[in-house]
Copies of this chain bind each other. A is one copy, B any other.
Amino acid sequence: MKKVKTITISKSAYENNDLEADRLRGDLKNRGLFVVNVMSSPGAGKTTTLEGLIKLIGTKYKAGVIEADIDSDIDAVRISQSTGCRALQLHTGGMCHVDASMLRESIENLGEDDLDLIFLENVGNLVCPAEFDTGASLDMMILSVPEGDDKPLKYPLIFEKSRLVLINKTDTLGYFNFDVEKCTERIRMRNPSARVVTVSAKTGEGMESAASALVEFIENDRKEKGYARTE
């Protein structure tokens, strides 16, 4: 198939998204496919971070990417070219988030038989994506230094839900008034067990730690036996 394909899904097929999300998560586990739901504000560096992570772990796990955007396919084309991964551009038809039915249909459109790992780059938004369980194996978020260290105070839910939080653009710490320690405390206030890693996807600093953290989540998921569906 082509390396980049575009589909549009502008409404959810399911009435009970939580149930469908649990079902999808169960199906993914049964197939041995790990899906990471990557959330952040617009421009926090999701695509650059994914490029870095795929370069570091792409030989261990064969990866594909789903790029959700309101419009344009620049991210899907870019990441496919830079990493060689198959990428699907998901147009959400104006919708501010991705839900479980949208993710399931996107995975089917991307094709997953040969994949171990799929990154879903969610719509850039700190509010709505956190409200809809996508059914992904892991919720991860990226907060960038220029956005400010107060974001866990203002957008609690996304921090509560994310088990892995990358603080990105640390190369700009000298320029912005951003206190990493205070921000980490505020993240932990929302989610005491969150794994927090500081990175600069641009310079590569910290990216190996981020990749190791992600590998741990994948391997732990694979080790868990007797996964019980909630239905």
Contact = CB atoms under 8 A, between A and B. Distances in A.
A7 interface: no
Choose among A127, A128, A156 the residue with the greatest number of B CB atoms under 10 Å from its CB: A127
Contacts of A195: none
A31 to B, nearest CB: 31
B146 A169 contact: yes
Nearest to A126: B42
A98 B175 CA distance: 32
A192 interface: no
How many copies, total?
2
Q: Interface extent on A, as a size class? A: 20 to 34
Interface in A126-162: 126-128, 131, 144, 146-148, 150-151, 153-157
Given A146-B144, A150-B72, A169-B146, A42 B123 contact: no
B154 A72 contact: yes
A64 interface: no
A70 interface: yes
Most B C-beta atoms less than 10 A away, residue of A42, A74, A172, A175: A42
Given A41-B124, A125-B127, 17 more contacts: A41-B41, A41-B147, A42-B147, A43-B147, A70-B127, A70-B156, A70-B157, A71-B155, A74-B154, A94-B157, A96-B127, A124-B155, A125-B125, A125-B128, A127-B128, A128-B128, A146-B146
Interface of A: 41-43, 69-72, 74, 94, 96, 123-128, 131, 144, 146-148, 150-151, 153-157, 169, 172, 175
20 contacts: A43-B146, A43-B151, A70-B127, A70-B154, A70-B157, A71-B153, A71-B154, A71-B155, A71-B156, A72-B153, A72-B154, A74-B154, A96-B131, A124-B126, A125-B125, A125-B128, A146-B169, A172-B172, A172-B175, A175-B175
